[in-house]
Structure 1
Amino acid sequence: MICRMRQWIPGLDVVATYRVAWLPRDLVAGVVLTSLLVPQGMAYAELAGLPSITGLYTTIFCLLAYAVFGPSRVLVLGPDSSLGPMIAAVIIPIVGSGGDPGRAVALAAMLALLVGLMMTLAGIGRFGFVADLLSRPTQIGYMNGLALTILVSQLPKLFGFSVDGDGLIAEAAGFVRGVADGETVPAAVTIGVTGIVVMIVLRRWLPKVPAVLAAVVVSIAAAAVFDVADRGVDLVGELPRGFPPFTLPWLSWEDLPLLIGGAAGITLVSLTDTISNASVYAARAGQEVRGNQEMIGIGSANLAVSFFQGFPVSTSASRTAVAVQSGARTQLTGVVGAVLILLMLVLVPGLLRNLPQPTLAAVVIVASLSLADLSAVRRLWKQRRVEFSLCMAAFLGVALLGVLPGIAVAVLLSVLNVFRRAWWPYHAELGRAAGVAGYHDLRSYPDAERLPGLVLFRFDAPLIFANARAFREEIRRLARVEEPPRWILVAAEPLTDIDTTAADMLEDLDEELNREGISLVFAELKDPVREKIDRYKLTRTIDPEHFFPTIEDAVAAYRAQTGAEWVAADPSYRRQS
């Protein structure tokens, strides 16, 4: 019973196996991590269109919940730059730009509740494979589009003004108009750009220095010395004092469809990000990823924040890296961070009142730059143009259609790419190449030998309804030549399945070929596939003697029957290829 509880509540296992020697490292890592959690939490809350205080509430409770239910000992959760625009894309159309902040907070909390339920149920149901719906090329394109969207959305705030715009193009146009109309606040630009430079320089040349904290300290000092508030720069102001209130999320029924759609997209992105980060750090520690428990951990964190005016969260690669570099050994690091933030709200809520808003914009912009991966785009261009096209289509989907439609486009493209490979799989005619064991593609070995009257054909996919016609037409092409073959031998090792549609096609095709004096022969069929052929009763038309365990056995049988000898490749094939 206890072992089962420790399996479902990993925090119990941490408590039972904790070593006192780890305590100093976890405490130090928690203090260092807090310097990143506070400004990022506030910045990502505003990115999501919410009051900055909700970012701190969210950070506190997601860290505590994941410490109990999360299986990873080092992953750090919190508000995330990739989720911020998605949350805003759901909330803003409902409450409107500049609408009631209270309603926006309630909607965000309900969104977190839905994400938590979806993620937890997916974990219990073992649906971790859903993360595979975003292929790597489409994920790269989506993240690059998201990075550009975030960057453009934060530029007006960095320059000290605001714009009304829905989508990347409208926001970019509004920013250009604002600059042209002289709305720029020079002091805001100075502070924001200084913050960006400080963070980039420190991360590159002094990675052990907490770059975000340094930028925050510099900007607060500058705000005090130069009295930037009188120069038109907006400040964060004093945060609400005390413990975040327990609040039940609420919504109206007409809001539910948009919230469910947004929650599904956020769940998918959060799940993909979580599994990716968990895999990286588990590999470094020599551990296995518990994908389903990770979903339960993330789901529990979202459920927890939903009752304390929070919004959806995910794992953070940057914050996890800071925790690991600072010596974190367990989730006590996150608990320390949560407690320190809570103490700040209770004891010194005015600590960050002089933090300039352009600095928060700078934090988000630097985070958006880390989302972009231009080198991966260049690599796709060089390695595989089809996947480069998928990447760019996903990028344009986010940039032109918006964040939520963009992820729908990315998922659709990923799924269509899978079907494309199933619909039109690679296929090849094989021959015997000199000095190379086995039988090989004549495109790669145009001088390979062949047996007169025998066509060796390989179809690199399961034979299903989607590609049955393509298989049939290729077999017909091989049969309709000037000197028709006697056997068409299918090297069937890649055929991992044959469905009923394909079975009907094979029956008709075999009868058609038999009328022309051609035999359809199979070699190396897997046992489960061979059993399906028997179940479909295909041996009524296909001679049971025409199934061979290996290609060599089939070739030997053909040669014994016909007396054929190996000959050099037909020059006409070499010309065609």
Structure 2
Amino acid sequence: MVWTPPGARTLREYRRSWLVKDVVAGVVLSTLLVPQGMAYAELAGLPPITGLYTSVLCLLAYAVFGPSRILVLGPDSSLGPMIAATVLPLVAADGDPERAVALASVLALMVGAITILAGVARLGFVADLISKPTMIGYMNGLALTILIGQLPKLFGFSTDADGLVAEVGAFADGLGDGKTVPAAVAVGLGCIALILLLQRLLPKVPAVLVMVVLAVAASVVLDLDEHGVRTVGRLPEGLPPFTLPHIGWGDLGALSVGALGIALVSLADTISNASAFAARTGQEVRGNDEMIAIGTANAAAGLFQGFPVSTSGSRTAVAERAGSKSQLTGVVGAVLILLMLVLLPGLFRDLPQPALAAVVITASLSLADLPGTRRLWRQRKAECCLSVAAFLGVALLGVLPGIAVAVGLSILNVFRRAWWPYSTELGRVPGLEGYHDVRSHPTAAHLPGCTILRFDGPLFFANAKSFRDEVLRVARTTPAPRWILLAAEPITDVDTTAADILQELDAALQERGVRLVLAELKDPVRRKIERYGLTRTFDPSRFHPTVEAAVTAYRALSGARWSDPAQ
């Protein structure tokens, strides 16, 4: 079968009634893409023009390869600090912008290669390596990092500090040394207030566009550059240039570390956004196809002086509210940016730099999820602690180490749950069928001489000893049970280490005169036990299809009767 790009399939299925809606949505979207593209480029430590180049190429590439009809790609506030943390330490001491662009372009190519290979290998599950609590903590830390990093620009000066703590100190020193430009502060705070106010009171109005227009007008009318307010200046004229970036071999190691972290965050962001908008539009999420599309978009950006990209929930929501029906919306937005670069390169030359800082700061506020953190504290304090640890990892160690901390904490949380799974005794509750947790039903009836035990997890090397200790604890109770009946339905696996410990446990119980019996053991798990040779000591009479069958067998053997719950 010949592979067909998703864009070609969309073109074949395109409806004439979508055209006007897509064009209108593309026009609306472009008004957001231009200021955000420039702002996020500067957030990444790159010239503003690279943000526009990146926006154009990733939109066009995703229109061809993207499986979603609604997602919008582009420079993203969550990736900006990661790009800066990877690229800026490798830039020469004089801050050579051309070298920074070359490094960022190679970074985009590496991110593209990683995500394409992962998509081809069907590794979409890697996006699940960061749990939601740790992602909340990571994003909270990222939001604070972005906010602190933009404060000097908002106040009209710059610093060379690296890291949250150092940036706070440098900003405080700048304030103390009188570097603040009052006009810049007024512009920046006014722009932030305007964006937040419009987003709250008039959510359908493009707040960023209104702010940009008013900021440019104020800059021209009030001669803000004469008052020390820096502006964007005239952008380079013409189309994005095709460029094969050149860097040294020694730079590849540091870039590869950053590329892995950026690819992981980009994929997690893309899959979550794709799932959210697919649920609203009735589309199906194809994770591996999304990975290939994201990789292609990054590669395209990297070949035209761009930097790594991701999907944007805010820009996608704008396109959706404007009536977008297909990726033609992104194509229209890209074409309008190209026309601006060719015909009106000086359109934003009077845009104040504090206005760009305002765009970034308001975007960082949308990254933070303080209500989510409070909800975690109410619902599950252990996961809230994981979220706080991820936050501290970003805030104290940096953006790239922070993502490593977030992934590590997510994986450790998985091991923690498997290491100490929930275990309990079961009893019979009047009026309820089956057997139930005695912790939830303290008055549940017990069967004298038979303890029904449930262990909620697979038996493997990490938790086999804790399982053994729990069973031995039950065996040492007074009066000692004759049977320990294991309700084994939740046990989904038994590895060789657990099998050996299970055999040792059975021998220790037999010395005490206690019989270990298993009920509801899954067939695949029982076949593993047989393959391990445990059936030499565990004869067939010790396996029962249900807990009820095992209880019936015990009662027939012992004549025991259920205890009275009232007693």
TM-score between both structures, scaled by the size of structure 1: 0.97
| Aligned with residue 389 of structure 2, among 377, 385, 393 | 393
1:5 aligns with 2:10: no
Alignment of 1:163-562 (within 5 A): 163-562=159-558
Structure 2 residue matching 1:520: 3-state secondary structure: strand
Letter in 2 for 1:242: G
Letter in 1 for 2:82: M
Q: What is the rounded CA distance, in whole Å, between the counterparts of 2:478 and 2:20 in structure 1?
A: 82
Q: Bigger shift: 248-257 or 365-374?
A: 248-257
**CA deviation digits over 1:381-411, x for unaligned, max 9?**
1111100100000000000000000010000
1:201 CA drift (Å): 0.9
1:128 touches 1:292 (CA, 8 Å); kept in 2? yes
| Aligned with residue 566 of structure 1, among 523, 540, 562 | 562
**CA deviation digits over 1:98-127, x for unaligned, max 9?**
511111101100100110000011111111
1:63 aligns with 2:59: yes
Unaligned runs of 5+ in 1: 572-577
Letter in 2 for 1:186: P
Letter in 2 for 1:43: A
1:78 touches 1:315 (CA, 8 Å); kept in 2? yes
Unaligned runs of 5+ in 2: none
Q: What is the rounded CA distance, in whole Å, between the counterparts of 2:523 and 2:93 in structure 1?
A: 61
1:512 CA drift (Å): 1.6
1:160 aligns with 2:151: no
1:250 CA drift (Å): 2.7
Letter in 2 for 1:169: V
**CA deviation digits over 1:514-538, x for unaligned, max 9?**
1221111111111111111111121
1:97 CA drift (Å): 6.4
Alignment of 1:33-112 (within 5 A): 33-95=29-91, 99-112=95-108
**CA deviation digits over 1:123-164, x for unaligned, max 9?**
111111111110000000000000000000001001100012
1:511 touches 1:541 (CA, 8 Å); kept in 2? no
Matched residue pairs, number?
Answer: 567
Q: What is the rounded CA distance, in whole Å, between the counterparts of 1:187 and 1:390 in structure 2?
A: 42
1:177 CA drift (Å): 1.4
Structure 2 residue matching 1:5: 3-state secondary structure: coil
Letter in 2 for 1:272: A
Name the residue aligned to 1:20. Answer: 16
1:447 touches 1:568 (CA, 8 Å); kept in 2? no
Query: Identity over aligned residues, as a percent?
Result: 67
1:380 CA drift (Å): 0.6
Q: Bigger shift: 507-516 or 332-341?
A: 507-516
1:58 touches 1:78 (CA, 8 Å); kept in 2? yes
Could you list the structure 1 runs, at least 4 aligned residues long, displaced by more than 3 angstroms after superposition: 568-571
1:446 touches 1:569 (CA, 8 Å); kept in 2? no
TM-score between both structures, scaled by the size of structure 2: 0.99
**CA deviation digits over 1:399-451, x for unaligned, max 9?**
00000000100000000000000111110011111222211111111111111
**CA deviation digits over 1:227-265, x for unaligned, max 9?**
000000001000000011111123222211111110000
1:196 touches 1:366 (CA, 8 Å); kept in 2? yes
Q: What is the rounded CA distance, in whole Å, between the counterparts of 1:538 and 1:292 in structure 2?
A: 42
Letter in 1 for 2:197: V
Name the residue aligned to 1:574. Answer: none
Letter in 2 for 1:412: G
Q: What is the rounded CA distance, in whole Å, between the counterparts of 1:205 and 1:67 in structure 2?
A: 33
1:25 CA drift (Å): 0.4
**CA deviation digits over 1:472-529, x for unaligned, max 9?**
1111111112322111111111101111111111111112211221111111111111
Q: What is the rounded CA distance, in whole Å, between the counterparts of 1:244 and 1:332 in structure 2?
A: 20
Root-mean-square deviation over aligned CA pairs: 1.1
Q: What is the rounded CA distance, in whole Å, between the counterparts of 1:391 and 1:244 in structure 2?
A: 41
Q: What is the rounded CA distance, in whole Å, between the counterparts of 1:470 and 1:489 in structure 2?
A: 17
Q: What is the rounded CA distance, in whole Å, between the counterparts of 1:63 and 1:379 in structure 2?
A: 36
Change (3 A) 1:181 1:570: farther
1:570 CA drift (Å): 11
Letter in 2 for 1:496: T
**CA deviation digits over 1:7-41, x for unaligned, max 9?**
xx100111101111100000000000000000000
Change (3 A) 1:226 1:99: same
Q: What is the rounded CA distance, in whole Å, between the counterparts of 1:549 and 1:510 in structure 2?
A: 20
Q: What is the rounded CA distance, in whole Å, between the counterparts of 1:282 and 1:250 in structure 2?
A: 39
Q: What is the rounded CA distance, in whole Å, between the counterparts of 1:49 and 1:347 in structure 2?
A: 26
1:97 touches 1:164 (CA, 8 Å); kept in 2? no
Q: What is the rounded CA distance, in whole Å, between the counterparts of 2:23 and 2:432 in structure 1?
A: 61
Q: What is the rounded CA distance, in whole Å, between the counterparts of 2:69 and 2:460 in structure 1?
A: 44
